[in-house]
A and B are shown apart, each in its own frame.
Chain A
């Protein structure tokens, strides 16, 4: 069930919010847990049992890990979580790779396994919890209902952000009170939904048409239009989802950390990864890059670590070669920047770097991310080259440039131009003068009217990050 699905907005969410708001104390976490399991069951049926197993297993194991005891038990716990992820997400891919060498057909065994929605997210939360308990960064939670509410909390269950227990435990124990935080959460939710429905979806229709063009029939202009549309779509889709998750969390009195900080305003890829999907990149930094040695060893080992982390980051996004290549592509840029710039350009607000280095590099990377497979990605990149066929848009693509799509592309492109310090999300969160406050209220009212119209009369479109 996606957050822009009418069933979520108009059936599930009102009931869940009423249930959570009307309960207090331990009952409140019980209400969160019940609503979250119901939410998961609605979309995924009995796959909810995997989530229940994850709650029970990790809650139980953590008590034996406290205070740095039994490192083998930590390895066991992490392995069980990752094996679960591996079975449901990667078994088919790796069996296919193996079959390529052996000529066997073992991949068929895993073909029918459906990927439980959000398994990558809750597995990473569970592993971080076990590691933090083992390191002594957080105490094992005694209350299984509270822990279950944390691991399954529906706003961030299926598409993040990846929330660490130590960051939110106190909010689950005593939710942050106050009208201000709840109204701020409501505003954030509306803003996120608007980003998704009014910008990401219409831009996505243009991207879909361009990426669906048969090989050899895509001109250079269409290829660049497609990748521009996708660059807008993925940011507004994913950051919109994070806004909604953060907003819903606040409405329930639970504060999540930010997941996006204007990534397209970066000057370098290194900076980009500090602003894009922050909860994932910091997870990999803390639980993979640093344990591998980070940058404390030789330069060569630092580069090795970067490549390992980004290959795994790519694989985390999808069990397919194009994701691995996308990860390695970013890893290569980060290694190159480390070697050439030595961090000098990191905090420079150089518009030239943004437009002539960062954005083209990120956009080319998105081709690997969006294409159906590696061969399609290479063909698409070929079409983007200047020597490729003409500038005209064929009718199939021209058709997708509807009024709303053009508005979405233009509005979405503003994100490339805005100075780094300015963001609509930050503006909405900041306390302003009374006239500004009423302006925000007017924005919410206008956005909600458009959203109601689009959501009820339009086509349903799932979030991109649901597949990870």
Chain B
């Protein structure tokens, strides 16, 4: 009897083990079937289900999309993320996820945004800062109706929050901020709308960032939008800092994901107050433009729509390729808004701000039009070699004309000497490149007066040769 009980008990234990594994394997699928889809995190959308045909393709993008779409929709996943972080925080006394790290007790900050979150990739950082500087130089020389609005990191405005675990990232925050500031400083009052000084001022009077979220508060966001509007209209819109405010308990994705569904009391705009509606009404700007933004401007989405009723809107994650070329050419102004932590990652060639992106190409079109308009460029001289060419001295913008003959798809690359001391006269970030089709191409570019007397290098990739080059004031 005892023997048979032991056998039965053993069989039961084995069955339990098999059952546990079976449960583990089917639970996510079963949870989707029983509990349905989870709501997407705020300001995000689920990966769309791929088409059945894409699952049969040689490329595995469709199959990867299927896996992402499945994971995105799991209520179980959301619960586990929250559960894990709620467990980790008390056990390890800090939170350190791939994106967010805990700072001063009760405060979360975003990690400095660098390649693989590793601050040692300073070459990549320098490259990105060089590229940003060059984009601004070209936009300024072309007098393009372009504005770069930068929402600061919480860690920039509240350096005291970088305590605890976040202290380990301190040098990284500084490295990113230093390079960013160096790149934008010459354009601080023209092309660049840096919201950091405004938020530092506002912080004197109250909280401008949420504790358990890395975004600014609604009143701080509205003040920042006022600053942007001021740059577009040329009027002072600081009145927004006096908008009617209430206190409200807010949850949020980040709190859900990282710590707990705790609700924090934060100042919110009192949208029911007639004074608020009147404020928006009085500051309405009817210009037709384009605003490309991230979740920071989205914090005040209703106000933004009311203040700029004729503007068109693009969110970074919805339109990585950027707006249509036609949309850009019709815009009276283009605002590209990004949070500080992401800006330097948006500059690769294929991103919308890169030279192959629609915004990058629009800037090059603006530059070419300006060259046609402001310079007297004669016929190009044959270019005997592809070595460095010294540009003429000038105190006005300079224009370049390059003639290229291509036998197939190719690229033209122009490297520009950097100003001041750097890692070397040329750098990967200090280059502009154009895609070339077969046949003859004419490239025009306007450069700022600061490039006068400096050198440029031209080279081609693919079956192309430079047939002429000239530079003029």
Contact = CB atoms under 8 A, between A and B. Distances in A.
A147 interface: no
B13 A6 contact: no
Contacts of A46: 58
Interface residues on B, range: 35 or more
Interface stretch (B81-89, B184-192, B454-462): B81-89
Interface in B78-113: 80-81, 83-84, 88, 91-92, 94, 96, 98
A179 B67 contact: no
Interface residues on A, range: 35 or more
Given A452-B24, A456-B74, A457-B77, A10 B169 contact: no
A444 B20 contact: yes
Contact of B92 (A7, A9, A402, A438): A402
Interface in A170-212: 179-180, 182-183, 186-187, 189-190, 209, 212
A456 B24 contact: no
A402 B96 CA distance: 8
A11 interface: yes
Given A14-B29, A45-B58, A209 B118 contact: yes
A444 B16 CA distance: 10
B248 interface: no
Nearest to B57: A45
Interface string B1-39: 000001001110111111011011111110000000000
A6 B21 contact: no
A456 B14 contact: no
B14 A183 contact: yes
Contacts of B71: 6, 456
B60 A403 contact: no
Contacts of A440: 13, 17
Nearest to A247: B21
Contacts of A456: 28, 71, 74, 76-77, 80-81
Contacts of B20: 186, 190, 441, 444-445, 448
Contacts of A99: none
Given A179-B11, A453-B80, A457-B77, A396 B63 contact: no
B75 to A, nearest CB: 11
A402 B117 CA distance: 15
B82 to A, nearest CB: 9
Nearest to A459: B98
Contact of B70 (A11, A45, A395): A11
B364 interface: no
A57 B29 CA distance: 39
Contacts of A437: 10, 13-14
A351 interface: no
B291 interface: no
Interface of A: 5-7, 9-11, 13-14, 17, 42-46, 179-180, 182-183, 186-187, 189-190, 209, 212-214, 217, 395-396, 398-399, 402-404, 434, 437-438, 440-441, 444-445, 448, 451-454, 456-457, 459
